[in-house]
């Protein structure tokens, strides 16, 4: 950003030394890149007036000019075509110096003396990008009221430096002269000259009578403010305005366009002017573009829009790409008589994306994309109206149109003085802090040790007390703070319960010979087909990724099994004889949490192929849970999960809650995937496991007294689950029952069709003495009688 000192001093009483001032500005957070001295190398250029022009007798392209340079007449020859009698021009006299080291001397041109040279803006160092079009190819013509003989450098204020600044993205308010005036005044402890804007509605026309209306059809334009200028006289801007614009890097065009550019630089609020006669229906609509809709911008290029672009339109079509650039049919021309002034506020993200997508960067888009204060829209338009009356460019119509459904008002941030000092390591007084914040236009009151700061709406970067502390610190001067050693209390770090339980489970699995797998959280819909899921299975309800890398990474996974299965398929294709692995990974649900984000759950997947079988997987699951201090684990045979063999799958329960399932892959799935060996996999809800796990395991001492064991075999229905018998025995065994386990299941000879034999081993023990046979006899008899009655079983006697 270019900040002319000549413009800045209209708002601040600046210190004499520019470099000292810039050092203070840099120290308070607004980095000064450079100080540009535009008068360097310029000497002896004065203002003169052409009194008479005659042709050169010996040269067709030269003319002889008699010029009054302030009480003294000089003869100067030139080939410039834009000079005329009465023109006020810059004159480099004999001995003058121009940019680039050129020295002017009196000379003869085709026999006639020339006592100097008339100058163009380029010859005095102006960049061609900021020179007005009518002054590019000739002598600079000055206004008639410039005093003759005056120093041209001072007339154009070239002797006042231009400060080049680097503004951080969180401070769009500093992309303006007023914003930097506030910062400069606070940084240098100078007085701020703030003048209220006054709009004089001096036109006989009411806006509502000449303009048919404003219709804002999108929430992405939270503020849209319009005023109307009548009796417009399009002409060059005053010299002071042109000087400020050129110093700030903007080319003057005409007074109306210059007014909008001038106030944009002054207030940081982009503006636009529409010729009322070019608005079809004399109305404005603010809406989202239609897909593939086309428009031509002021730069003459055609742009194809999408539904995420905000546009300004009239009754027939688009007249502007909101926040980026106006349309080619809406601009101000020499024939413009009535102007509609627009000051708007647009959603920052939409402007940033539109600017990038359309490859259009403008002064407006660079400001809008950082987020602007909606209240600034009205202030800036009113400032244009004030200046238009001041310079005689137009009159202001009565009334305005203002779309502002949700007004943004100042908010309050509270902070303790002691807390700010503790954070900064300072001892700034209460009065000092209030003075600093007030200097930044942040009105602050004091209640004991508490500061109550009212944040103006143009400071959208201030929301928490630490923000106030930073403001106090940077204006006080971080360089003025005495460095101190770090203070604080040391705390002992540690893992959460969740991580401790996970680590113990990992240790068990690694000790059992399993490797840890890690796979992507993304997957594709085809993964559900690989694990044979039904079309209406809840696991297919997945969170979709808005910008996927491809179809196979388009959703967030709801299960770990497809990724684990892919690993085993790949290992088999590499002819690895076996593979054992596990993975801890998050799965994602379409259900939303309190923050509106998809819920995440951690699951544990265990799987292998090789020499082991279904019962090894069951034992592995049981061992992991047991090592986590979880008891009461039950395995219930099921047949409903399509990936697993109907006769080789089970659900895992802790007490009465299902925490997962395991099984052997179904032969059909095995064939579809081209696998030559069966694969065994388990998927457990690890979040539920953590809830049941015991962080501290209490070990019992080794038993001092012997146990009494009894083996019981029952002939039961073939479909009866052994777990049902175990549950019954554990329930009826009483305090003396130490353990019960199945040690044999038999089908075949001696057992009738439809039946099977289940053999149980019961162990009884007393902690304090040796048991007697008589103490367990009645317990065993009760168990036998209960099983025979409840399960229609028969005790085997052989």
Query: Closest by alpha carbon to 607, among 594, 617, 597?
Result: 617
Tokens 């040269």 — which residue?
59
Minimal CA–CA distance to 367: which of 254, 217, 246, 263?
Answer: 263
What is the H or E stretch that residue 255 is in?
Answer: helix 255-267
Q: Which residues line the annotated binding site? A: 461, 467, 470-471
Tokens (6 digits) for 583: 């993975």
pLDDT in tens, 631-661: 888 888 888 898 999 889 999 999 889 999 9
Residue 86: pLDDT over 70: yes
Q: Is residue 789 part of a domain?
A: yes
pLDDT in tens, 390-418: 999 999 999 999 999 999 999 999 999 99
**Of 479, 514, 529, which residue sits at a domain end?**
479
For the chain, the domain total comes to 6
Assigned domain for 287 exists: yes
Same domain, 727 and 768: yes
User: What is the Cα–Cα distance from 305 to 291, expressed in whole angstroms?
Assistant: 6
Q: What is the CATH number of the domain that holds 178?
A: 3.30.56.10
Report yes or no on 200 lying in a domain.
no
pLDDT given for residue 183 in this prediction:
95
Q: Are 396 and 200 in contact (CB under 8 A)?
A: yes
- Is residue 344 domain-resident? yes
pLDDT in tens, 428-472: 999 999 999 999 999 999 998 999 999 999 999 999 999 999 999
Predicted local confidence at residue 798, as pLDDT: 64
pLDDT of residue 596: 80
Indicate whether 151 and 57 sit together in one domain.
yes
Contact 313, 278 (CB under 8 A): no
Range of the domain at 174: 3-32+163-188
pLDDT tens-digit map of 577-628: 999 999 999 999 988 887 788 889 999 999 999 999 999 999 999 999 999 9
pLDDT value of residue 243:
94
How far apart are the C-alpha atoms of 172 and 179, rounded to whole Å? 9
Does any domain span residue 62?
yes
Q: Which two tokens stand for residue 645?
A: 């063999």
Is-contact 585 521, C-beta < 8 A? yes
pTM of the model: 0.68
C-alpha distances in Å from residue 674, one per residue of 127, 394, 575, 670:
73, 83, 13, 6
User: Are 283 and 330 found together in one domain?
Assistant: yes
Is residue 486's pLDDT more than 80? no
- The rounded distance, in Å, linking the Cα atoms of 172 and 662 is 58
Residue 487 in any domain: the answer is no
Beta bridge partners of 556: 522
Whether residue 413 contacts residue 217, with contact meaning beta carbons closer than 8 Å, is answered with: no
CB 48 within 8 A of CB 89: yes
Say what the pLDDT of residue 261 is. Answer: 95
Residues 90, 226, single domain; the answer is no
Question: Is 485 part of a structural domain of the chain?
Answer: no
| In the block, residue with structure tokens 């779309």 | 403
CA distance 745 to 759: 6
Considering the domain architecture, whether residues 86 and 132 belong to the same structural domain is answered as: yes
Same domain, 419 and 388: no
Token pair 């317990």 is found at 779
Residues 631 and 550 both lie in one domain:
yes
CATH number at residue 350: 3.50.40.10
Question: What are 469's two structure tokens?
Answer: 């502390």
| Mean predicted confidence (pLDDT) in 20-27 | 94
Return the CATH number at 639.
3.30.930.10
Torsion angles phi and psi, residue 122, rounded to 5: -65, -35
Do 680 and 716 fall within a single domain? no
Round to whole Å and give the CA distance between 376 and 379. 5
In order of 196, 610, 782, the CA distances from 661 in angstroms are 74, 20, 34
CA 446, 449, 454, 459 torsion-angle sign:
positive
- CATH code (residue 113): 2.40.50.140
Q: What are the start-end ranges of the H helices in 448-496? A: 465-476
Quick one: pLDDT at residue 199? 95
The CATH number given to whatever domain includes residue 720 is: 3.30.70.380
At residue 226 the predicted structure's pLDDT band, cuts being 50, 70 and 90, is very high
Write down which residue in 403, 421, 454 finishes a domain.
403
CA proximity to 192, closest of 358, 13, 45: 13
Do the beta carbons of residue 66 and residue 49 sit within 8 Å?
Answer: no
Q: How many angstroms separate the first and last alpha carbons of the chain?
A: 100
Same domain, 396 and 416: no
Yes or no: say if 667 and 649 are a contact pair by the CB < 8 Å rule.
no
Whether 26 and 175 map to the same domain: the answer is yes
Give 498's Cβ-side CA count (13 Å radius).
Answer: 9
Q: Which residues make Cβ contacts (< 8 Å) with residue 551, sequence separation at least 6?
A: 524, 525, 526
Residue stretches of the annotated binding site for Mg(2+): 461, 467, 470-471
| Same domain for 144 and 116 | yes
Residue 196 lies inside a defined structural domain of this protein: no
- Going by the DSSP 8-state scheme, the letter that residue 261 receives in this structure is H
Place of tokens 């829209």: 377
State the pLDDT at residue 432.
94
Do 629 and 555 reside in the same domain of the chain? yes
Q: How many residues does the chain have?
A: 798
Tell me which of 31-40, 171-180, 189-198 is least confident: 189-198
Question: Residue 309 has which token pair?
Answer: 């672009």
- Between strands 213-216 and 283-288, the pairing is parallel
Interatomic CA distance for residues 563 and 7, integer angstroms: 65
| Percent of residues, the chain, with pLDDT higher than 70 | 100
């Amino acid at each position: 950003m270019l900040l002319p000192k000549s413009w800045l001093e209209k708002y601040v009483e600046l210190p004499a030394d520019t470099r000292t001032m810039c050092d203070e500005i840099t120290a308070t957070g607004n980095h000064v890149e450079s100080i540009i001295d535009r008068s360097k190398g310029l000497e002896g250029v004065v203002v003169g007036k052409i009194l008479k022009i005659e042709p050169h007798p010996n040269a067709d392209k030269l003319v002889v000019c008699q010029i009054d340079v302030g009480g003294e007449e000089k003869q100067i020859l030139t080939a410039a075509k834009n000079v005329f009698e009465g023109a006020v021009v810059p004159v480099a006299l004999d001995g003058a110096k121009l940019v680039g080291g050129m020295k002017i001397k009196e000379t003869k041109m085709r026999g006639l003396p020339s006592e100097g040279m008339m100058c163009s803006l380029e010859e005095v160092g102006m960049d061609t990008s900021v020179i007005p079009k009518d002054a590019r190819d000739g002598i600079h013509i000055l206004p008639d009221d410039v005093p003759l003989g005056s120093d041209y450098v001072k007339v154009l204020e070239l002797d006042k430096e231009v400060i080049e600044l680097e503004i951080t993205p969180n401070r769009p308010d500093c992309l303006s002269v007023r914003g930097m005036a506030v910062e400069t005044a606070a940084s240098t402890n100078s007085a701020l000259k703030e003048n209220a804007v006054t709009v004089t509605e001096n036109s006989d026309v009411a806006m509502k009578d000449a303009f048919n209306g404003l219709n804002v059809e999108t929430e992405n334009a939270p503020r849209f403010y319009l005023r109307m200028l009548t009796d417009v006289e399009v002409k060059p801007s005053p010299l002071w305005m042109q000087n400020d614009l050129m110093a700030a890097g903007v080319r003057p065009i005409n007074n109306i366009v210059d007014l909008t550019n001038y106030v944009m630089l002054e207030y940081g609020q982009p503006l636009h002017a529409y010729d009322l006669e070019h608005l079809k229906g004399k109305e404005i609509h603010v809406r989202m573009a239609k897909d593939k809709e086309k428009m031509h911008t002021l730069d003459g290029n055609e742009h194809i829009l999408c539904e995420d672009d905000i546009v300004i339109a009239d009754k027939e079509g688009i007249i502007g790409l909101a926040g980026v650039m106006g349309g080619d049919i809406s601009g101000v021309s020499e024939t413009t008589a009535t102007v509609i002034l627009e000051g708007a506020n647009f959603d920052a993200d939409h402007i940033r994306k539109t600017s990038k997508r359309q490859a259009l960067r403008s002064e407006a888009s660079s400001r809008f994309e950082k987020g602007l204060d909606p209240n600034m829209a009205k202030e800036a338009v009113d400032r244009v109206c004030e200046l238009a009356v001041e310079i005689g460019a137009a009159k202001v119509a009565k009334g305005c149109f203002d779309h502002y459904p949700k007004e943004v008002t100042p908010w309050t941030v509270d902070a303790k003085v002691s807390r700010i000092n503790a954070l900064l390591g300072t001892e700034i007084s209460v009065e000092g802090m209030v003075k600093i914040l007030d200097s930044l236009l942040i009105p602050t009151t004091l209640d004991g040790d508490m500061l109550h700061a009212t944040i103006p709406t143009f400071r959208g970067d201030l929301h928490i007390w630490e923000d106030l502390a930073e403001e106090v610190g940077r204006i006080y001067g971080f360089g003025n703070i005495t460095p101190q050693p770090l203070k604080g209390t040391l705390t002992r770090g540690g893992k959460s319960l969740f991580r401790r339980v996970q680590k113990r489970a990992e240790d068990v699995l690694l000790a059992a010979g399993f490797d840890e797998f890690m796979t992507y959280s993304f997957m594709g819909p085809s993964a559900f087909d690989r694990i044979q899921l039904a079309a209406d299975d809840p696991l297919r309800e997945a969170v979709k990724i808005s910008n996927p890398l491809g179809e196979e990474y388009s959703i967030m996974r709801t299960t770990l099994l497809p990724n684990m299965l892919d690993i085993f398929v790949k290992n088999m294709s590499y002819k690895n004889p076996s593979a054992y692995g596990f993975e801890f990974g998050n799965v994602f649900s379409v259900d939303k949490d309190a923050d509106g984000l998809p819920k995440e759950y951690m699951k544990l997947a265990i799987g292998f192929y090789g020499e082991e079988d279904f019962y090894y997987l069951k034992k592995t699951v049981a061992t992991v849970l047991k090592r986590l201090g979880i008891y009461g684990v039950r395995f219930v045979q099921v047949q409903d999960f399509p990936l697993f063999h109907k006769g080789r799958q089970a659900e895992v329960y802790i007490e009465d809650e299902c925490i997962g399932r395991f099984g052997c892959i179904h032969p059909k799935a095995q064939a579809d995937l081209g696998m030559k060996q069966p694969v065994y996999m388990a998927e457990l809800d690890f979040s539920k496991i953590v809830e049941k796990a015991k962080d501290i395991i209490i070990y019992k001492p080794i038993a001092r007294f012997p146990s009494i064991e009894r083996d019981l075999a029952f002939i039961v229905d073939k479909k009866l689950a052994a777990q049902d018998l175990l549950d019954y025995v554990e329930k009826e065994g009483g305090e003396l029952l130490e353990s019960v386990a199945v040690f044999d299941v038999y089908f075949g000879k001696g057992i009738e069709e439809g039946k099977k034999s289940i053999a149980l081993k019961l162990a009884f023990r007393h902690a304090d003495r040796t048991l007697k046979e008589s103490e367990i006899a009645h317990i065993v008899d009760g168990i036998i009688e209960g099983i025979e009655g409840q399960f229609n079983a028969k005790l085997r006697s052989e």
